[in-house]
Amino acid sequence: METLNRGAGAGTSRPPEPEHQRLFVHTRPRPPADERGELLRGLREPPRCIAPKFFYDSHGAKLFDRITEQPEYYPTRVERELFRQHHRDIAAAVGPERLLIEPGSGSSEKVELLLESLRPSAYVPLEITESHLLGASRQLVQRYPWLTVHAVCADYSEGLDLPAELPAGPRLLFFPGSTIGNFEPEPARRFLRFLRRACGDDGSLLIGVDLRKEPAVLEAAYNDRAGVTAAFNLNVLNHVNRLVDGDFDPAQFRHCAFFNGTDSRVEMHLESLVDQTVTLANSPIAIAAGERIHTENSYKYTLDGFRELADNAGFRPRETWCDERHWFSLHLLDAV
C-alpha cells in the first residue's frame, strides 16, 4: 500500500483501502516504552505495584470482556442503557456533522449506539492494537455506508497526537466506560487537558463516569461470584512473567478488592498466601505472606467532584444523563 506521508515524527497516512473506500489508516510514531523498567521499579520494593495497563494482554482483554457480562458488574450495562435511552437527546445536544474522535476505541462497540443519531462528519478511533483498530474500522464502514473512518494507530496515554489530514470542523471527543476512573487524580486532570486541547475551542467532550455509591454494591462489582475479576487480576502475573522473565505463580496469591472511602476508589490488590521468593529479571525478591501488590484503583466520583475536575481542565458542563439510582453518569462538556 502506498505511503502518502512519512516524515520524522510525522507518522504515516495511507490512502483508502481499495475494498474500503471510506477507510483511511494513519499510524503515529510511538515513544519508546520502558515497560520492563517500570515493572521492576514497581515490584522490587514494598509498597509493590503493577500499573493496570498490564492487565490487558490478549487473555486479560478477553477476561475484561467477560467481567462486563457479570451480573454484579453494573457499569457497562448501566452506561449502555443510558446510551440506548438518550442517544437522540445526546445527538440533539451535540449537533450534526461533528468530527467524532474516540481515544482507546477498542472494538468501537459503544460508539455504535450513537452513530445513527449523531451522523458525524467522520469517525476517528484511536487504538494502540492495530488488529483491533482495523478489524473494528472495516466492520463500521461496511455496516454504515455513509460513514468515513480515519483509523489512527497510536498510544493516547501521553497526549492525543492526531494526524494533520483529519477533516476540519467542530469536534466531539468520546471517552466512555469510566476509563477516566483508572487514572490517579493528577494524571486524570492532565489527560482531560489533553482532551481539551484535542477538541479545540469549539469542541465538546462526551464522557462516561462511574459514581460513588454504597460500598456493598461497589465491592460486589469487583468480587463477582463467578471469579472472573479474580482471574483477571491474577492473570496480570502471567503477563509480568513474560515481560520481565519472572516466575510468579498466580496460585500463590489471592485477589483482593475493596472500597476505600477516604480516597473514593475501589482498590484491587494481589495478596501473597505464603512467604515466597520470586525471581524477576534474574534478581530474587522476597514477598512475605499477607503482603500485597497493588494492581488497580477505580475512582468513583460524585457529580460535583467530576464537574470540578472537568472545570479545572477547561470544560464547562452542558448536560448530564444519569440512571435513576445515580449509579453511572454521562457528561456532555463544552470547551471553554
C-alpha cell, 269 = 490488590
Minimum CB separation of residue 208 from ligand AVI in Å reads 9
**What SS3 state is found at 108?**
coil
Closest distance to ligand AVI from the beta carbon of 300 (Å): 9
* 178 contacts ligand AVI (rule: CB under 6 A): yes
Q: Which residue has the cell 496469591?
A: 253
**Choice between 179 and 272, CB closer to ligand AVI:** 179
CB-wise, 13 or 178, nearer to ligand AVI?
178
* Cell numbers describing residue 106: 477498542
Q: Peptide bond before 47: cis, by omega within 30 degrees of 0?
A: yes
C-alpha grid cell, residue 8: 520524522
Among 182, 204, 235, 272, binds ligand AVI (CB under 6 A): 182
Q: Which is nearer to ligand AVI, 13 or 233 (CB)?
A: 233
Q: For residue 208, state whether it binds ligand AVI (rule: CB under 6 A).
A: no
Closer residue to ligand AVI in complex, CB, 23/207? 207
Contact segment (CB under 6 A) with ligand AVI among 9-17, 145-153, 177-185, 301-309 equals: 177-185
- For ligand AVI, the binding residue among 123, 174, 191, 222 (CB under 6 A) is 222
Least distance from C-beta 55 to ligand AVI, angstroms?
7
Q: Which three cell numbers stand for residue 313?
A: 481542565
Which among 317, 66, 76 has a CA at the least distance from the CA of 205? 317
Rounded to whole angstroms, how far apart are CA atoms 100 and 102? 7
Quickly tell me which residue has 445527538 as its cell: 91
Applying the rule CB under 6 A, the residues between 2 and 41 that interact with ligand AVI are none
Distance CA 303, CA 331 (A): 9
Quote the CA–CA distance of 76 and 228 in Å, as a whole number. Answer: 15
The single residue among 292, 298, 315, 321 that binds ligand AVI, judged by CB under 6 A, is 298
Determine, following the binding rule CB under 6 A, whether residue 296 of this chain makes contact with ligand AVI. Answer: yes
- Among positions 229, 264, 272, 329, the unique one binding ligand AVI when judged by CB under 6 A: 229
Q: Which is nearer to ligand AVI, 13 or 76 (CB)?
A: 76
- Judged by CB under 6 A, which stretch of 32-40, 171-179, 244-252, 321-329 contacts ligand AVI? 171-179
Count CA atoms within 13 Å of residue 36 on its CB side: 9
Grid cell, residue 273, equals 498466601
How many residues at the interface with ligand AVI, by CB under 6 A? Answer: 11
Binder among 163, 181, 203, 246 for ligand AVI (CB under 6 A): 181
CA-closest candidate to residue 252, choices 229, 275, 279: 275
DSSP state of 273: S
* Cα 154-155-158 angle, rounded to 5 deg: 130
Distance CA 157, CA 56 (A): 15
Residue 204 or 229: which CB sits closer to ligand AVI?
229
In angstroms, rounded to a whole number, what is the distance separating the alpha carbons of residues 24 and 8? 20
Between residue 43 and residue 72, which ones bind ligand AVI under the rule CB under 6 A?
67
Q: Which residue is nearest to ligand AVI (CB)?
A: 298
The contact set with ligand AVI (CB under 6 A) reads 67, 75, 177-179, 181-182, 222, 229, 296, 298
